[in-house]
Every structure is written in structure tokens, then in C-alpha cells.
Amino acid sequence: MSTGPDLVGILHSVLRFRRVGREAILEFQNRHLRRLVAHAYRNVPYYRRLFERSGIAPEDIRSVADLQAIPITSRADLRAVPVQDTLARGVNPRRLIALRTSGSSGEPFIVRRTWFEERLQDLYWFRASHYFGQQARDRAASVGRRHEGRFSKRAWDRRILQALGFYRRLHVDCCMPPEKIVQILSRYRPESLGGYPGTLSLLAETVAASGCRDIHPRLVIAGAQVLTRRMREQIAQAFGARVYNWYGSRELNCIGWECKETGEFHTCDDNVIVEILKDGRPAGPGESRELVGTALHSFAVPFIRYRLADVVTKGSETCACGEPFSTIRDVQGRVIDPFSLPAGRFLHPYEIIGVIEVMSDEHAWIGRYQILQERKDSIVLRVVPRVEPTHEEILRVETALRPIVGADVEFQMILVPEIELGASGKFRIAHSLVSACRDESDREGEPADQAAGDAATGQSTG
């Protein structure tokens, strides 16, 4: 039995998914799941032990419906065992591409893949970007973090493509001042632009303020952080382009991309089996719960029923637009965890964001904003006003938000001239200084690489 991704099967699925239909995608999932489970049991000590402890033989897992028998694995579970135990037998870790993610605890977690696995993932990202309208010969730019060495020695395939004029990309470091980034982009004149929503909206502001007219991509692809409706409008307006959103993670890779008709995410069903679970049981359509994913084509270090710690809303079995993919209605919980409040209460910043979004039609003065939890019982909303608001306008927003925050928490809205980026160059729409609370820093550097860097928006970052 071969113990690697099935290139022919994947190519077939990626190229012909529209013609194969839903049935074939489900059959593809089952077939590749059986292959992955048999491999993990036979070759990966961590999963061998997990299966044996739970009394599961690989033959018990015939289809996605059987998946629930396998216990869920978290990042902490994988960290707790020696790296060697998470690797497939015979794989030399030194030959793998290592993708580092930063953890809030300061302990890094490294996702490892073979060069081949990494390239296969490009197919899925390319498929999504082509769906958005990107063309192979486009000049693309991505504004993201530089991460060292990822492709520098191994990117010969990409270099060849670039030399031939395909998938050209300029990578721009998002930690540079926005004026400088705008200057670089003005010279490069990208036909497609990718990046973190926070960075893109900051650039949009800079472009709008400077009156710069030189950056006109056909499309903008945002990912890796919450893209609010306002951010989307702002980016679309400044660049005169359509804005799309996609969704992935280091561990599970391409998870979904926005449907152009419905605005939901098409799940990348032929790449990852997505389960949306509430207390271990499948959530119903419209319910927002935790995402657990199985990466169908990761063999060197498998991720089977891996808890991503993202909250998403379940969509439908197939998309209303006619594509054969299931949908994720919304991705809201990622990168922001609930604020831990007094008396064991939790508040998800998304609740505040939701109200601001609704109010912002009426309150056009609200520019960029950030929700900051300073103490367990103190939350500050920092707003960069577009124009000076009246006292009554400020009061109306405060009054709308105070009940959400609760009486036992001090709430204050302050106007600031600007909101600085985080140390990594990312903008955080919500941020907690309460130490026990894991905030978005934990997820920095994960899906961002797809959104801002590596995949179809561009090219090598090495």
C-alpha cells in the first residue's frame, strides 16, 4: 500500500470537480479517508496508540460517517508527544518543510509537510483563486509577513513558472509603514492583491487619504483574520476591486473559499473533511460551533480529526450556486477568542463587532476600530474617527454597546488618531491583555500564509 497522497486522484478531483458532482466528492472523501487512516495506523506511532486505546482497527473506518469513532486530537495532544511519534515511519524530518506557528504560551508548534504535499496544496489554492478570477499570467502582489526559508531552496518549480511569466508575485512585508507599501504597490501595479484584512484596510485608508490612483487590482483576496463588512467595503472602494475571502490554516491548509453568489464559503471537501461539532456532536445548519478537520492529503504528519479551535457556522450540504461543495456559512470565531469576564462570564468580541457593523451605516464617522480588554472588568473601544463625531453620536454608540458588555464591566469608547499594528505587522480588531485569555496572537502566522503570502495571490516568500 502506498503511503502518500494520490496525485492522480487529486488532479482528477481538482480539475473535474464541477462535472463529477456531489456523489463523487463524497466517494472521494471516503476513499482517501480509508487510505489515510490505514497509513496513520500502520506508520504513525501517535495514531497507532490513539486507535488502539480506543479499540479501533483501521477497517472500522470505512467512510466519513465512521469518523466519529476516532478521538479528537488537539494541538496540545500533538505537542505532548515526541515529534518522532507524529511522523510517518521512514520520513526524515530534516527533509520536510517546517511551518512554524507562534503560540500564546511561547511554545512554537511546527507543522511539517513534504515538498510534494506542499505543492499539492497549491492546486487547491490555485483552484480557489482562479474561481475568484485570478489568471495565471496576472501580476500578483501579496502583503504579508516574511517567513524565512520556506521556499527559498525548494521553489525551483515556482521560479520556473515565474520565469515563464506565470504566477508572478511580489511579496511585500506588511510590517513596513503603509505609505511605503502603497508606494511599492503603485510602482508594481498588481492585477491581484492579497493580504490580511487588517493590513488591506489600513492600505485602503492610506490610499484614500493620499488620493493615490495607481493601484487598481482586478481582485483583492483577504484571509487569515476576520474580514468585517466595513473592511470589505473600504478595501473595495479604495482599490476599485472586488474583495474575496478565503479560509485555511497551517495544519489543514485550504479549508474554504468564498462563493461569489451566496457569500458563504465553499468547503474544500476534496482536501479536508470538515466537521462542525457541538459537544462532540454535529451542529445543524446555521449553528456556530468548533471546527474539527481531517487533512486528506497530509501523510508525513497526519491531522486526523484535528481541533482547529476556530468557531464557524455550518452551512448547507451543497452550495445554492450549484457547485458540489458543502458550505461554511461564516467563519467568525477564528483568531479571536472570547474575553473572559468577571463571574466566569465570557463575551465574544464578535458580538460587539456585530453591533458596530450594524450601526456603522448610520455612523459613517466610525473608521478603524479596535476592541481592547484591558482588565477582566474593563473593555475599551478605540475608534479612529473619519470625521469628528458629535457628543450625541458617541453616546448613541456607547449606549448600544454597554448592555452587551454588562454592568459589571467598565466600558469606554475613546477616539484615537491611529491604531498601531501588532508586533507581527497584523492589525488586531480585538485584543485582550488579560493573561489567561488566549488571543489572536496564538493564531498568527497560520492561515495568513495562504491569504497573504504563498498561494495563488503570489509566490515565494523565502
Residues in contact with Zn ion by CB under 5 A are 259, 319, 321, 323
Taking the complex as a whole, the smallest distance from the CB of residue 323 to Zn ion amounts, in Å, to 5
Q: Positive or negative, the Cα torsion across 73, 74, 77, 79? A: positive
Report in angstroms the alpha-carbon separations of 423 from 176, 365, 420. Answer: 11, 27, 9
Give 33's Cβ-side CA count (13 Å radius): 26
Cβ atoms of 195 and 207 within 8 Å: the answer is: no
**Toward Zn ion, which CB reaches closer, 248 or 324?**
324
Taking the complex as a whole, the smallest distance from the CB of residue 127 to Zn ion amounts, in Å, to 14
Task: Return the C-alpha cell found at 432.
Answer: 485582550
Taking the complex as a whole, the smallest distance from the CB of residue 318 to Zn ion amounts, in Å, to 9
Distance, in Å, from the CA atom of 48 to the CA atom of 37, rounded to the nearest integer, reads 10
Taking the complex as a whole, the smallest distance from the CB of residue 150 to Zn ion amounts, in Å, to 31
**Toward Zn ion, which CB reaches closer, 251 or 323?**
323
**Toward Zn ion, which CB reaches closer, 323 or 454?**
323
**Toward Zn ion, which CB reaches closer, 321 or 358?**
321
Taking the complex as a whole, the smallest distance from the CB of residue 251 to Zn ion amounts, in Å, to 25
> What is the phi/psi pair of residue 226, to 5°?
-65, 125
Q: What is the DSSP letter of 201?
A: H
Taking the complex as a whole, the smallest distance from the CB of residue 132 to Zn ion amounts, in Å, to 12
Taking the complex as a whole, the smallest distance from the CB of residue 319 to Zn ion amounts, in Å, to 3
**Toward Zn ion, which CB reaches closer, 323 or 440?**
323
Report in angstroms the alpha-carbon separations of 287 from 43, 177, 284, 311, 452. Answer: 36, 40, 6, 10, 29
On the 0-12 / 13-18 / 19+ scale of CB atoms within 10 A, 107 is: exposed
CA end-to-end distance (rounded Å), the chain: 35
Taking the complex as a whole, the smallest distance from the CB of residue 196 to Zn ion amounts, in Å, to 24
**Toward Zn ion, which CB reaches closer, 20 or 208?**
20
Distance, in Å, from the CA atom of 115 to the CA atom of 373, rounded to the nearest integer, reads 41
**Toward Zn ion, which CB reaches closer, 70 or 259?**
259
Show Cβ contacts of residue 142 under 8 Å, excluding neighbours closer than 6 positions. 169, 170, 171, 172, 193, 194, 195, 452, 453, 457, 458
Q: What is the DSSP letter of 73?
A: B
> What burial letters (b/e) apply to 360-377, b meaning 16+ CB within 10 Å?
beebebbbbbbbbbeebb
**Toward Zn ion, which CB reaches closer, 21 or 403?**
21
**Toward Zn ion, which CB reaches closer, 191 or 323?**
323
**Toward Zn ion, which CB reaches closer, 25 or 56?**
25
Distance, in Å, from the CA atom of 97 to the CA atom of 122, rounded to the nearest integer, reads 14
Cβ atoms of 304 and 325 within 8 Å: the answer is: no
> What burial letters (b/e) apply to 298-311, b meaning 16+ CB within 10 Å?
bbbbbbbbbbbbbb
**Toward Zn ion, which CB reaches closer, 323 or 444?**
323
Task: Return the C-alpha cell found at 218.
Answer: 482586478
Grid coordinates 521512514 are at which residue?
90
Taking the complex as a whole, the smallest distance from the CB of residue 32 to Zn ion amounts, in Å, to 23
Taking the complex as a whole, the smallest distance from the CB of residue 261 to Zn ion amounts, in Å, to 5
Distance, in Å, from the CA atom of 177 to the CA atom of 388, rounded to the nearest integer, reads 25
**Toward Zn ion, which CB reaches closer, 185 or 259?**
259
Taking the complex as a whole, the smallest distance from the CB of residue 12 to Zn ion amounts, in Å, to 21
Cβ atoms of 303 and 36 within 8 Å: the answer is: no
Reduced to 3 states (helix: H, G, I; strand: E, B; else coil), residue 292 is: strand
Taking the complex as a whole, the smallest distance from the CB of residue 255 to Zn ion amounts, in Å, to 15
